[in-house]
Structure formats: C-alpha cells, structure tokens
Amino acid sequence: MKKREKPKKVKDVQNVFEEDDLDYYEEDDGVVILQTHNKINQELNGEIIKLEKGYVELRLSTTSEMLVDKFGLIHGGFIFSAADYAAMAAVNEPNVVLVASDCQFLSPVRVNDEVNFIAKVRHKEGKKRNVNVEAYVLDIKVFDGVFKTVITEKHVLKLKLLEGDNPNAIEEEDE
C-alpha cells in the first residue's frame, strides 16, 4: 500500500463509502479515507496529519479557549478529546463508539503547545477494537491511554437500547 499524507482538511471528505463496505475505506490509489467523526471541530479536537489503516497521527494546537487558569494550563478534557478522536479515526468505521478507556495524564500542557498524538489499533476481536494512544509535546510524553471501542451496525443514537425510541434523537438526512 502506498503511504501518502492525508489532506489537511479531512472534514471535507465525506460520503465516500457504501453501507456494505467493510473495514477500511480506500480510494483506487490506496489512500485511506476518513469515515468517522467528519463533523468534529478540528480546532478544538485536533487535525489529522496522517491516516493509514489502523494508524493516525493528529496534532492539537492549544489555544486560549482551552485555558483553565492565568498560568496557561490547558484543561485535560481537550487532551482526552483529541486522544479519543485519534482513536476513533484509527479504527475508521462510521459507527465506532468508545466504551471504555484507561488513560494517564503524564505532564501538563500549556497554551500554545502543539500536542502530537499517535494512535494505533492494537487488538481486533469481532467488532471490538483496542487502540493505544500516546501524546507528546516536543519529546515529552504528556498522555498515554488505551481506548476500547465497539463498531455498531447502526449509529449509536439509532440503536434501540431501551424499550421505545430515543425521543432526544436529532433528525438528520442520511449521510
């Protein structure tokens, strides 16, 4: 498979798969196409730099909107969210859902830091995927986690989890 960097505006790549396609979606030239989280805000959750089968590199540029105090500390929720986005993109299925995580925040992140995430699918069993995610600022490891995911047949908000339909589901056109 050819290695090629993903276009910077990943969110513009949508609706390129068929419902019956399995696993990873590739164009004829072998480039992997992002199939999940296409409407995510990349300014707050990071930008995919490299996308391959089972592998993602993502960069989060921290901003003042992520601050928690006058010292420049970034809220850990933004780090977790970017790590989660990287894990979901590494699985790269339209209906991937996070079911559990085991994470460690190893060092603080400051405003204007560039946090580089690497996500790798490490275990695959049926519809379950475990993804290891690490994050670095320069050469300092700031985050390490394992994300446990499940691929569902339908969107999680369209699943009938309890008796009756979900009255809070947002109606959208099928994508």
Report yes or no on whether pTM surpasses 0.85: no
**Residue bearing tokens 């901003």:** 63
Task: Using the predicted structure, report yes or no on whether residue 171 has a pLDDT greater than 90.
Answer: no
**Between 162 and 81, the higher pLDDT residue:** 81
Q: Are 151 and 95 in contact (CB under 8 A)?
A: yes
**pLDDT tens digits, one per residue of 61-115:** 999 999 999 999 999 999 999 999 999 999 999 999 999 999 999 999 999 999 9
- At 172 the pLDDT is 57
Can you give the residue ranges of every domain in the chain? 10-158
Place of tokens 């993109």: 89
> Any idea which architecture 10-158 has in CATH?
Roll (3.10)
3-state secondary structure of 83: helix
Q: What secondary structure does DSSP assign to 5-46, as a single string?
A: PPPS-GGG--S-S-TT--S--B-TT--B---S-TT--HHHH-
- What span, in angstroms and rounded, lies between the C-alpha atoms of 148 and 64? 31
